């Protein structure tokens, strides 16, 4: 536990966003994670993304499960809606919330334990349904909150702090997402916010399920020699392959890129994602190519990051299930609850 709080200080000439809010208005409670935790960097980057997108804090929803990563929803957007659910059950709660009001910005924060072990089923089905949310998986390869046991994301050969070697194959959330139909699949690193910030912004603006698997080192239990999720290891094998910039609709005119260098992808909100640093011939809109690229990089120790796959054409859950377009809180009560007589009539149809 930390003994201090970060003070809220207004300074002169401080930058504000379109709503007149300052960056610190998007902060939350003081983080209680270990000093140097990668999750704190991700938290700060999420806060900045919401600030730069000028999303009103009360129009954002934070959902999480259990674990170090899931605690972090308390540490940003203090004026937003949020819920810590049962371990691994965040996708269900998020699905329900989105069904009730799909006009808010949903961000789910989870970890490799919450998503890849106890909550694996939930995680997969949310992707399969293409629930319109951004799912940030803070991946450190260990159960930090219970003192450093291997998680399902630990690589073969990676060692624990006391020297035990992991022999089980890892579950790679990115490959998994590609195989079950997620429509925005990215990998990032807590140590590279220049890449992570636009990924989070793009993921929030993408319509459908967005997954960002963020390598986020655990300083206390998985930052030693022999770990494949340490700061040193990640920096060493880090390959920021595909950089994605989110460009809001208002800034569309400023097209300052040469053809071939940049691949623009139109988004539903009128903005676009501009992909840079692409290797020759690689098209992140091609799922097979993305899967191939991933396996290829898996042969070496290289950690390929960036926006690996994007598909703006698939229907999201709301559209697929032909759900009511209006948020439930905007529907008049007698329409929402037509009464016992109407119910009886409805039930008749099923007899």
Partner 1 sequence: MRPTNTRNPDYFHKVVDCQWACPAHTPVPAYIRLIAQGRYSDAYMLNRDSNVFPGILGRVCDRPCEPACRRGRLEEEPVAICRLKRVAADHRGDITDSLPKKPAKTNGKRIALIGAGPASFTVANDLAPLGYECTIFEKLSEPGGLMRSNIPAFRLPEQVLSEELGYILDMGVELKLGHSVDSMDALLEEGWDAVFVGTGAPRGKDLNLPGRWDTKDEDNKDSENIHIGIDWLESVAFEHTKKIGKNVLIIGVGNTAMDCCRTSLRLGAKNVKVMARKPREFFKASVWELEDAEEENIEIIVNHSPKSFVIKDGKLTGMVFELLEYEIDAGGKIISQKVTGETTIPCDDVILAIGQDNAFPWIEETSGIKLDKWQVPEVDEATFESTRKGVFFGGDAAFGPKNIIWAVEHGHQAAISIHKHCQGKMLTGRLPNEVEMAPTKMGMFEWRYSNSYDDAARRKMTHVELTKRFADLDVEVELGFTAEQIATEVERCLNCDIQTVFEASLCEECDACIDICPVECLAMTPDAEDEDQLRASLSASENIEGQALYVSDALPLTGRVMIKDEDVCLHCGLCAERCPTAAWDMKESLIQIHYADEQDGGQKRGLGT
The radius of gyration computed from the CA coordinates of the chain, to the nearest angstrom, equals 21
User: Interface with partner 1 by CB under 8 A: which range of 110-118, 175-183, 215-223, 247-255?
Assistant: 215-223
Q: Which is nearer to partner 1, 47 or 182 (CB)?
A: 47
130 part of the interface to partner 1, by CB under 8 A: no
DSSP assignment letter at 279: P
CB of residue 301 vs partner 1: minimum separation in angstroms? 16
From residue 247, give the alpha-carbon distance in Å to each of 199, 202, 267. Answer: 11, 8, 10
CB of residue 243 vs partner 1: minimum separation in angstroms? 14
Q: Which is nearer to partner 1, 236 or 315 (CB)?
A: 236
CB of residue 275 vs partner 1: minimum separation in angstroms? 21
Query: Residue 265 is encoded by which pair of tokens?
Result: 């992808």
Q: What SS3 state is found at 61?
A: strand
CB of residue 279 vs partner 1: minimum separation in angstroms? 22
350 part of the interface to partner 1, by CB under 8 A: no
333 part of the interface to partner 1, by CB under 8 A: no
CB of residue 173 vs partner 1: minimum separation in angstroms? 22
10 part of the interface to partner 1, by CB under 8 A: yes
CB of residue 238 vs partner 1: minimum separation in angstroms? 9
Q: Which is nearer to partner 1, 75 or 246 (CB)?
A: 75
Cα gap 159→164, rounded to integer Å? 5
User: Interface with partner 1 by CB under 8 A: which range of 56-64, 98-106, 149-157, 230-238?
Assistant: 230-238
Residues in region 181-210 near partner 1 by CB under 8 A: 190-191, 193
Binder to partner 1 among 26, 28, 43, 209 (CB under 8 A)? 43
DSSP assignment letter at 136: E
CB of residue 350 vs partner 1: minimum separation in angstroms? 55
CB of residue 278 vs partner 1: minimum separation in angstroms? 21
Query: CA 235, 141, 67, 81 torsion: positive or negative?
Result: positive
Q: 114 with 80: CB under 8 angstroms?
A: no
Q: What SS3 state is found at 165?
A: strand
Long-range contacts of residues 153-160, Cβ cutoff 8 Å, at least 24 apart: 153/112, 153/116, 153/229, 154/228, 154/229, 155/228, 155/229, 157/228, 158/226, 158/227, 158/228, 158/229, 159/224, 159/226, 159/227, 160/221, 160/222
Query: CA 135, 43, 65, 59 torsion: positive or negative?
Result: negative
Q: 91 with 132: CB under 8 angstroms?
A: no
32 part of the interface to partner 1, by CB under 8 A: no
14 part of the interface to partner 1, by CB under 8 A: yes
Cα gap 183→203, rounded to integer Å? 10
Q: Which is nearer to partner 1, 76 or 123 (CB)?
A: 76
* Binding footprint of partner 1, residue count (CB under 8 A): 34
Residues in region 236-255 near partner 1 by CB under 8 A: 236
Size of the chain, expressed as the number of residues it contains: 351
DSSP assignment letter at 154: P
Residues that bind partner 1 (CB under 8 A): 2-4, 6-15, 23-24, 34-38, 40-41, 43-44, 190-191, 193, 217, 219, 223, 231-232, 235-236
């Amino acid at each position: 536990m930390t003994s201090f709080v970060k003070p809220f200080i207004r300074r002169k000439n401080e930058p504000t966003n379109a709503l007149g809010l300052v960056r610190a208005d998007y902060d939350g409670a003081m983080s209680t994670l270990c000093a140097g935790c990668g999750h704190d960097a991700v938290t700060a980057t999420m806060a900045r993304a919401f600030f730069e997108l000028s999303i009103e804090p009360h129009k954002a929803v934070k959902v999480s499960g259990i674990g170090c990563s899931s605690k972090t929803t308390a540490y940003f957007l203090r004026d937003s809606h949020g819920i810590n659910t049962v371990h691994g059950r965040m996708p269900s709660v998020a699905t329900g919330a989105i069904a009730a009001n799909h006009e808010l910005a949903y961000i789910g924060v989870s970890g490799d334990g919450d998503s890849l072990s106890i909550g694996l089923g939930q995680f997969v089905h949310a992707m399969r349904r293409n629930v319109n949310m951004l799912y940030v998986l803070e991946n450190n390869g260990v159960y930090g909150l219970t003192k450093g046991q291997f998680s399902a994301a630990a690589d073969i050969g990676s060692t624990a702090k006391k020297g035990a070697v992991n022999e089980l194959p890892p579950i790679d959330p990115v490959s998994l997402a590609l195989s079950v139909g997620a429509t925005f699949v990215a990998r990032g690193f807590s140590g590279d916010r220049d890449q992570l910030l636009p990924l989070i912004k793009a993921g929030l603006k993408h319509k459908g399920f967005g997954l960002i698997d963020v390598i986020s080192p655990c300083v206390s239990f998985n930052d030693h020699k022999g770990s494949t999720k340490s700061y040193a290891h990640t920096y060493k094998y880090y390959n920021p392959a595909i950089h994605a910039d989110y460009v809001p609709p208002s800034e569309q005119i400023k097209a300052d890129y040469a053809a071939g260098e940049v691949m623009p992808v139109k988004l539903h909100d009128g903005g676009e994602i501009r992909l840079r640093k692409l290797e020759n011939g690689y098209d992140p809109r091609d799922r097979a190519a993305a899967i191939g690229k991933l396996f290829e990089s898996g042969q070496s120790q290289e950690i390929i990051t960036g926006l690996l796959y994007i598909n703006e054409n698939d229907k999201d859950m709301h559209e697929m299930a032909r759900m009511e377009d209006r948020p439930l809180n905007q529907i008049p009560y007698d329409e929402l609850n037509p009464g016992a007589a109407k119910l009886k009539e409805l039930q008749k149809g099923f007899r």
